[in-house]
Amino acid sequence: MSKSSTQALIVGVVAKPRIESARDLVVQLLAWLRERNINSVVGSDIASELTDAELGSAAIVDREKVAAGADIVVVLGGDGT
């Protein structure tokens, strides 16, 4: 089902906690999304590692609920398994 032009895309962001390179990518991704007025939802585990300025207007939810609140999910910092 496609979204109508009045519905906003929501991008979920999940990252492996305590991995600096993943954290840095999350910060860059959230900034990129903000610049394009794209809504985002972030797992609380990684959100706790970010400043309010880095989070911007991203919604924060339990990691397990990110997918339920997003149209697409970006996963960063996996270990390859």
Give domain status of residue 4, yes or no.
Answer: no
Give domain status of residue 1, yes or no.
Answer: no
Give domain status of residue 28, yes or no.
Answer: yes
State pLDDT tens for residues 6-46. 568 999 999 988 888 889 999 999 999 999 999 999 999 99
State pLDDT tens for residues 35-71. 999 999 999 999 999 999 999 999 999 999 999 999 9
Question: Where residue 1 falls among pLDDT bands split at 50, 70, 90?
Answer: very low
Domain count, the chain: 1
pTM of the model: 0.84
Q: Rounded CA gap, 37 and 76, in Å?
A: 21
- Of residues 68, 73, 63, the one with CA closest to residue 12: 73
Give domain status of residue 81, yes or no.
Answer: no
Q: Which domain holds residue 32?
A: 10-76
Give domain status of residue 2, yes or no.
Answer: no
Residue 10 belongs to what H/E stretch? strand 10-15
Kindly write down the DSSP assignment for every residue of 60-76, as one continuous string. EE-GGGTGGG-SEEEEE
